Chains A and B, each alone.
Chain A
């Protein structure tokens, strides 16, 4: 079977099966979270943008946008595909502070807050993080190969590394 690249946008999440690749491009302050079940070669990728759905003002319903709602949602999708969360390997990347402002206010710390919220949401699900590349001040792309579970992180002038 030919593998296809399944692209996950901003504030988006997707689950897929081998031999596909799950890819999200240009993570800045956002955080990408990959989930992989090696037995079934099924995985998911979420690209969250904000920490907490409770801070959202009225009218916002995209559950994939927030750490606290996206994680339960992707776990549910994976569970339906037969991948229970007990078997999932979880890795995270992103959460950078793209612009270093003097006297940075809370708004500029969005990357850091996203990472904290993702870790909290994963902990609440009883999930451990087995690979992490977060923080600093540069963008990242993240790729999960569902054939072998490898997670690759690409950054400008830093090359490609495996989580």
Chain B
């Protein structure tokens, strides 16, 4: 069994690189969709106690839009695209060609637009990852929730909680050029998937 609290520097670097390639591809897709420049941070790979995850990501009661997909295939996991409330509303405005600030609450069409974004971003992220690792990684149908961050994350954390008390989070921050839309993209491998991913990119368990 893998112990995510004992990852070597080489392994962490490899995961950061995975995040970089995946998120780079996703950022390009988003940029083309919005026809705007999208800036992206260097991915952060963190191993966190489960109970600290909501705090690190902005606080459990923060209202966010979370677009959630399961990763199916050789290395199952979860993908989450999370945006603060305002960013989500502005993103909808941009996508649907509305005046910025026009969307105040999400109707069915808005929700479906956000899910589609999640789908495209997760698809391009996983595509890049598939190419790199030669693993089959497919996104499930996306689901959207507009709620407290803690509540949204609980679904993913519960999955991880079955094996341990830590989460491995590969996180990239996106921002549209004017900083009106910001978001975080997370890849959270299921227990057991991490060693499959590391092996596929030629970094073995002891980090040699």
Which residues of chain A have a CB within 8 Å of any CB of chain B? 9-12, 25-30, 49-50, 55-60, 62, 65, 96, 98-102, 107-108, 110, 137-141, 156
Contact = CB atoms under 8 A, between A and B. Distances in A.
Contacts of B148: 25-26, 28, 139-141, 156
Given A25-B60, A107-B159, A60 B151 contact: no
Interface stretch (B7-15, B35-43, B162-170, B196-204): B162-170
A149 B191 CA distance: 40
Contacts of A28: 147-148, 150-155
A99 B66 CA distance: 9
B51 interface: yes
Nearest to B60: A26
B150 A56 contact: no
Contact of A10 (B54, B145, B152): B54
Contacts of A59: 1, 163-164
B163 A96 contact: no
A98 B59 CA distance: 17
A78 B59 CA distance: 29
Contacts, number: 114
Given A25-B60, A26-B54, A10 B157 contact: yes
8 contacts: A57-B1, A58-B1, A60-B163, A98-B147, A98-B155, A99-B145, A101-B143, A139-B147
Given A26-B148, A26-B150, A98-B145, A50 B163 contact: no
Contacts of B161: 11, 49-50, 60, 65
Majority DSSP secondary structure for residues of B touching A: mixed
Given A10-B154, A99-B68, A25 B61 contact: yes
Contacts of A30: 154, 158
Interface string B52-83: 11100001110100101000000000000000
B33 interface: no
B162 A55 contact: yes
Interface of B: 1, 50-54, 59-61, 63, 66, 68, 140-141, 143-155, 157-159, 161-165, 191
Contact of B150 (A25, A55, A99): A25
Considering the complex of A and B, which 5 residue pairs feature the smallest CB-CB distances, nearest first? A26-B150, A139-B151, A28-B151, A28-B154, A26-B60
Contacts of A108: 155
Given A59-B164, A65-B161, A99-B68, A9 B51 contact: yes
Given A26-B61, A141-B148, A102 B154 contact: no
Nearest to B143: A99
Contacts of B165: 11, 60, 62, 65
B198 to A, nearest CB: 19
A29 B161 CA distance: 13
